[in-house]
Chains A and B, each alone.
Chain A
Amino acid sequence: MEFDLWAQLPSVLPEIGLTALAILVLFADIYGSPAARRNVVFISAVGMALLALVPLIWLPDPKLFENGALLWGGMVNYDPLSQIFKVMLLLAGAVTCLMAAGDKGVGDKGEFYLIVIVATLGGLMMSSASDLILVFVALETLSIPLYMLASFRRGDARSAESGMKYFLYGAFASAIMLFGFSLLYGFTGTTGLSGIADAINSSVGDSVVAVMTALVMVVVGFGFKISAVPFHFWTPDVYEGAPTPVTAFVSVSSKAASFVLLVRFLTAAFPVDLVIGGVIIQDFWVNLLIVISIVSMTLGNVVALRQSNIKRLLAYSSIAQAGYTLIGVAALQGANDSLAVASVSFYMFMYIFTNLLVFGGVILFIAATDSEEISDMAGLNRRSPWLALFITIGLLSLGGIPPAAGFFGKFLLFQAAVNSNLVGLALIAVTNAIIALYYYLVVIKVMYVDSGPDDDVPIAIPRSYAWSLGITALVVILLGTIAVTPVYDWAALGALGL
């Protein structure tokens, strides 16, 4: 195919825009007047929100992605799946910037926004990468800024510990994943994801163990990123120690970008027709993911029952949420995968807003009380009815109660599972949903029922938070009611490019 710059440019336009935005923020922060520095947060947030429109305006050409055409020398996918994840990652970055604005020691430093933008850039590249080299570069572009963000509060020992732990675990997982990549390259002689399957089919013969080893190593790397059990050990400590806006960002961006890449990697490199020595590789990874999914859901939910710190509770909840989402990935088996892909995309879309909503509320709560204990949320409904309502909507969405978006999210995952004959997995998942609802309800109960010593002291919601929380809460409700159809249909398109 002849290289046509104008045809290929839209596929990386958001990335180019982000790079420009990063440079702009950097210069505004260093050389700008004090007023310009204060506006860095708005430049970043508005910039990313505007860039989120780009994938909606320049839609990919169905003729290209349905034939699996790749751009930029076979490096980049340009299909609806990458577009929907780009939009959600950009919006997540924008909301994170707004939520960090009032956080002392974090939001008042210009470089925070710069790092968030660069991390988002990595996430965007992950959602469209189709080559092992680009996958790894994108992954590290996302990860390394996150390590820095986790330890952003330099003076705080917990933050430093959090960053260090995250870095050590992360580097280790990256190394294992890279080893898996190199094995795959060694067997096949290609780094293109879609080329791997062809090469294995034609050349590897019956060395099934070697291929599976490589597959497992890569899954380990993803497992770390999405905080699935048993690669979750970093999650509670990092979530607890990192500054709360960072925790919010880590919990959504890294997870969403990794899920889209996982879906793409498994379907492109290990498709349904890949059989080595009589072993169907897809059955192997489906079963592997089912096990990881069950263990993640169950362990995450059960351990969350015992937490007294709200950030640790949300950490275990996020482990469980990763388990739910893996149901959708496991349901990718077979030929009809559009339900499964749509369920994963929709779940991540609603999860990003839901988790940002909850963490946004928690940021305000921590700022007001200087405590992270759930018991100190007592009387929050009396102190600030709206704050309590925002957190409640978020928790209900995580718990899967309508009209919040989580109900549709979970429903779509269960539906995908039943469609792929995974009824047992669906039944285990609904059991888990009940356990999870228990601890979400406990938090809600503390806010609405219990009374604390400071019941009469109102908590004011600063304007930037009122906007960001109000909008995310509205989005969460809309995604569970009238906005389901457009988002779901868009998400269902994602399967076309696989």
Chain B
Amino acid sequence: MEATGFSVLTAIIFIPIIAGVVILFLDRKNRDLVRGVGVTAAAAVLALSLAVYFGYDNFVKADGGLIESQQALLDSGAELSGAQMFADALAFEQRVVWVESLGIAYHVGVDGVSAPMVLLTGMVAVAGVLISWNIEDRLREFMAFFMFLVAGVYGVFIAVDLFMLFFFYELAIFPMYLLIAGWGWVKLREYAAMKLTLYILVGSVFALVGAVAMYFAAGAYFTGSGADVFEAAVASGILPADSGAYSWSIVQLTLAAENGAFAIEILGIDGLNFERFWFPFMFMGFGVLAGVFPFHNWSPDGHVAAPTAVSMIHAGVLMKVGAFAALRSGMQLLPDGADTHLPWIVFLTLINVVYGALIAFRQRDFKYVIGFSSVSHMGLVSMGWATMNLTGMTGAGIQMFSHGAMTALFFGVVGMVYDRSHTRDIPSLGGFIKVMPWVGVAFVIGGLTSMGMPGLSGFIAEFPIFQGMWAASEQITLQLGAFQLSNYYSVIVIIAALGIVITAAYVLRVAGQVFFGEFDAARYHDVGNIEMTDRIVLIILGSPLIILGLYPPIMAPMIESGIRPLIALLGGG
């Protein structure tokens, strides 16, 4: 799709920012106005996100749309250019030069991987505002910072400029810190907020140095041996006419990666090239936010300490920001590094899946169960990336959306139960479905999704990941001495699938103990049913799980179209 003058994505970023600033100027006693501005902005953003999602869906599926043109390209047997395919897949683009002399541009656009994430962010933003309806303490500041957080998250998903991706990534960190530290669970919040912030920052700043190195390497390539590649790309319209050789554009960096600009020797060590050196910084740097083992430690504490709305956006969206950025800046820009490193990183993701589930099983605290289940499920996303084939990565893309909605739903449920019962201790709860039928049903739907029940979105996501993993054992040939890592991929699949059994166990245990069984009417005499705002939250987050589960074509082809350029880059099938 051609770049247009104004993109709806720009409105999606700036509406929350403007709303946040406006809220800061409101009278703090006028709570209705604060809430009104907040919910209006969030609803507007959700509406625009829906427009983007279905607009992109149409772009993909229309006659002569992206799927057909990609298929034609594959059938033609021509040599595939990942950069070209990525540029073709972008829609709703807008590009405004920001710092010309440094090659930094405000460049937004969505592809098949990010469009579902845009929709997810919109859903969770509305749900977060609604579930924070009755916050007593400094509602104005809470709402304003929440809006800034939403804007930062959006920015990462729609950035087509690597610098902009970092800018918005770091922009999201501070409001998140303040929301958790200021409005979180008193016992843990200061520790958890600081831990989370530092973990996330450590990863991203090391990745930033890697990105700077890539910027110079690509620039040197395009001014030197790759000058003709650059000119051809500008002439054919992949790159805008005013782009310079040194640029942060992800399209341009992808082009450099594809043409071997990053395959340069460094440090004089045999077999260690630029890509292999920087890939762990880029992938694991962002992987920290996706909770990749052993850097997952911030996540359960962070989720538990955060106020409900922030837990929702954190587990629901921010962990996806990490996985998404790892994909975009790690795998897409350093494909050779991905080929080298992902075959061992996949073992880490297995630990995520199984270990996260086991720990979740042992928790007494309702919210910790959900926190560790996120670690487990995000492991599946990273595992899907590590398959490096179309099936597995498409599954991971769906899992990002499915888990995002599901875990936000879970945290919403926990928050609703906790707000009324004032405890999260699982053994002392029970029978809550009698007083809160909506919440109980929502939990069961989420629970079935998380254990991969067919008919719900979890199955659509997890099955392809395992399938892709199994298939990957034939395509990956990396050897560690005499040790062929991919021989063990099928074992990984089996163990990970057993992890699902553990998931089922802890979900059923929690459902049984919290929502069924004896209801202690004397202790919980003041627990009543939920309000209208809460019901809207449950509907917004719960219905996509069912819709996607029953009708996968609403999302799967789109994600597949976004994965195909990456497959071309990674050289897999």
Contact = CB atoms under 8 A, between A and B. Distances in A.
Contacts of A400: 170
Most chain A CB within a 10 A radius of its CB, from B28, B100, B177: B177
Given A418-B216, A441-B177, A423 B209 contact: yes
Nearest to B219: A419
A434 B198 contact: yes
A426 B201 contact: no
B488 interface: no
Interface stretch (A191-199, A248-256, A366-374, A401-409): A401-409
Interface in A396-451: 396, 400-403, 407, 411, 414-415, 418-419, 423, 426-427, 430, 433-434, 437-438, 441-442, 444-445, 448-449
A401 B170 contact: yes
Interface string A440-464: 0110110011000000000000000
B212 interface: yes
B212 A396 contact: no
B198 A437 contact: yes
Contact of B170 (A402, A414, A419, A441): A402
A438 B208 contact: no
B181 A448 contact: yes
A381 interface: yes
A488 B182 contact: no
B213 interface: yes
B190 interface: yes
Interface in B165-213: 167-168, 170-171, 173-174, 177-178, 181-182, 189-190, 193-194, 197-198, 201-202, 205-206, 208-209, 212-213
Taking residues whose C-beta sits less than 8 angstroms from the other chain, chain B's interface range is: 35 or more
A81 B561 CA distance: 50
B61 interface: no
Contacts of B215: 415
Nearest to A404: B174
Contact of A449 (B190, B201, B205): B190
Contact of B205 (A415, A433, A438, A488): A433
B98 A485 contact: yes
Given A389-B24, A438-B198, A445 B181 contact: yes
Contacts of A419: 216
Contact of A402 (B98, B101, B167): B167
Interface string A224-242: 0000000000000000000
A401 B205 CA distance: 11
A485 B100 CA distance: 7
A441 B174 CA distance: 9
Contacts of A396: 174
B102 interface: yes
Contacts of A448: 141, 178, 181-182
Contacts of A489: 100-101
Contacts of A414: 208-209, 212
Contact of B206 (A402, A415, A430): A430
A396 B201 CA distance: 13
Nearest to A487: B99
B138 interface: yes
Contacts of B202: 434
A402 B181 contact: no
Contacts of B194: 438, 441-442, 445
Interface in A290-304: none
A426 B170 contact: no
Contacts of A423: 209, 213
A382 B137 CA distance: 10
B99 A402 contact: no
Contacts of B28: 385
Most chain B CB within a 10 A radius of its CB, from A385, A414, A438, A445: A445
A434 B201 contact: yes
Contact of B138 (A381, A407, A433): A381
Dominant SS among interface residues on chain B: helix
A408 to B, nearest CB: 8
A434 B288 CA distance: 15
Contacts of A138: none
B197 A441 contact: yes
B101 A401 contact: no
A418 B213 contact: yes
Dominant SS among interface residues on chain A: helix
B138 to A, nearest CB: 7
Given A418-B209, A418-B213, A489-B101, A437 B197 contact: yes
A89 to B, nearest CB: 24
A496 interface: no
Given A381-B138, A414-B212, A423-B213, A449 B181 contact: yes
A414 B163 CA distance: 13
Contacts of A445: 181, 190, 193-194
A492 interface: yes
Contacts of A382: 138
Contacts of A134: none
B183 to A, nearest CB: 9
A450 to B, nearest CB: 9
A437 B173 CA distance: 11
B138 A415 contact: no
Contacts of B190: 445, 449
Nearest to B206: A430
A426 B215 CA distance: 15
Contacts of A401: 170-171, 173-174
Given A401-B174, A444-B178, A427 B209 contact: yes
A430 B209 contact: yes
B208 A488 contact: no
Nearest to A407: B170
A415 B212 contact: yes
B98 A484 contact: yes
A54 to B, nearest CB: 26
B19 to A, nearest CB: 16
A458 to B, nearest CB: 12
B22 to A, nearest CB: 14
B170 A492 contact: no
A354 to B, nearest CB: 15
A485 B205 CA distance: 23
A159 to B, nearest CB: 35
Interface in A450-498: 484-485, 488-489, 492
A489 B216 CA distance: 19
A423 B217 CA distance: 13
Contacts of A418: 209, 212-213, 216
B167 to A, nearest CB: 5
B31 to A, nearest CB: 15
Given A418-B212, A426-B212, A448-B182, A488 B138 contact: no
Contacts of B189: 449
B171 A402 contact: yes
A423 B215 CA distance: 13
Interface in B193-248: 193-194, 197-198, 201-202, 205-206, 208-209, 212-213, 215-216
A381 B141 contact: yes
Contact of A484 (B99, B170, B182): B99
Contacts of B171: 401-403
Nearest to A416: B212
B551 to A, nearest CB: 40
11 contacts: A385-B28, A403-B167, A407-B170, A418-B209, A418-B213, A423-B213, A437-B198, A441-B197, A448-B181, A449-B181, A488-B102
Interface of B: 24, 28, 98-102, 138, 141, 163, 167-168, 170-171, 173-174, 177-178, 181-182, 189-190, 193-194, 197-198, 201-202, 205-206, 208-209, 212-213, 215-216
- By Cβ-Cβ distance, the 5 closest A-B pairs, closest first, are A430-B205, A418-B212, A402-B171, A448-B182, A485-B99
Given A427-B209, A444-B177, A445-B194, 19 more contacts: A401-B170, A402-B171, A403-B167, A407-B170, A411-B163, A415-B102, A418-B209, A423-B209, A426-B212, A430-B206, A433-B205, A434-B202, A445-B181, A445-B190, A448-B182, A449-B181, A449-B189, A485-B100, A489-B100
